[in-house]
């Protein structure tokens, strides 16, 4: 069964360092998303990506964050200069159509980021 894969599963970094979280969405999907979950809090929308550009982003997704689909298979989330409050589980997701319009959002297993 096709699945979304994320690497690394866990990353520990020092405050101020750059981090890149990688995702391989399901191959024929067109819509890509990043969500995050701070420990004990809700899963929060960060950004959606379609047709090689950001289609929507939340207020959390400030200038420290960027996304890229560098090679047609990977979908990356970069945090330029990590802060303590960026510590969270980051979920990548993909869908074949607009997920909320009745399509299904397929999630990866998450990448846990710990900022020290």
Partner 1 sequence: AQSVTQLGSHVSVSEGALVLLRCNYSSSVPPYLFWYVQYPNQGLQLLLKYTTGATLVKGINGFEAEFKKSETSFHLTKPSAHMSDAAEYFCAVSPLYNFNKFYFGSGTKLNVKP
Binding site residues, partner 1, CB under 8 A:
4, 31, 35, 41-45, 48, 55-56, 58, 91, 93, 98-102, 104-110
Identity of the residue, 48 or 87, whose beta carbon is nearer to partner 1 in the bound complex: 48
Minimum CB separation of residue 104 from partner 1 in Å reads 5
- CB nearer partner 1, residue 14 or residue 62: 62
Residues 6+ apart with CB under 8 A from 71: none
70 SS3 class: coil
Say how far residue 1 (Cα) sits from the centre of its chain. 21
Instruction: Indicate the residue among 13 and 50 with the shorter CB distance to partner 1.
Output: 50
Q: How many CA atoms lie within 13 A of 34 on its CB side?
A: 32
Q: To the nearest whole angstrom, how small is the minimum distance from the Cβ of residue 2 to partner 1?
A: 13
Q: How far is the CB of 109 from partner 1 (least distance, A)?
A: 4
CA-to-CA distance for 91 and 114, rounded, in angstroms? 14
């Amino acid at each position: 069964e096709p699945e979304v894969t994320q690497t690394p599963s866990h990353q520990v970094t020092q405050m101020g360092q750059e981090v890149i979280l990688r995702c391989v969405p399901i191959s024929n999907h067109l819509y890509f998303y990043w969500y995050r979950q701070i420990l004990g809090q809700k899963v929060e929308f960060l950004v959606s990506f379609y047709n090689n550009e950001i289609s929507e982003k939340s207020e959390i997704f400030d200038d420290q964050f960027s996304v890229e689909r560098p090679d047609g298979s990977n979908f990356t989330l970069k945090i330029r200069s990590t802060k303590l409050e960026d510590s969270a589980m980051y979920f990548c997701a993909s869908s074949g159509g607009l997920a909320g319009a009745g399509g299904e959002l397929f999630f990866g297993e998450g990448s846990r980021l710990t900022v020290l």
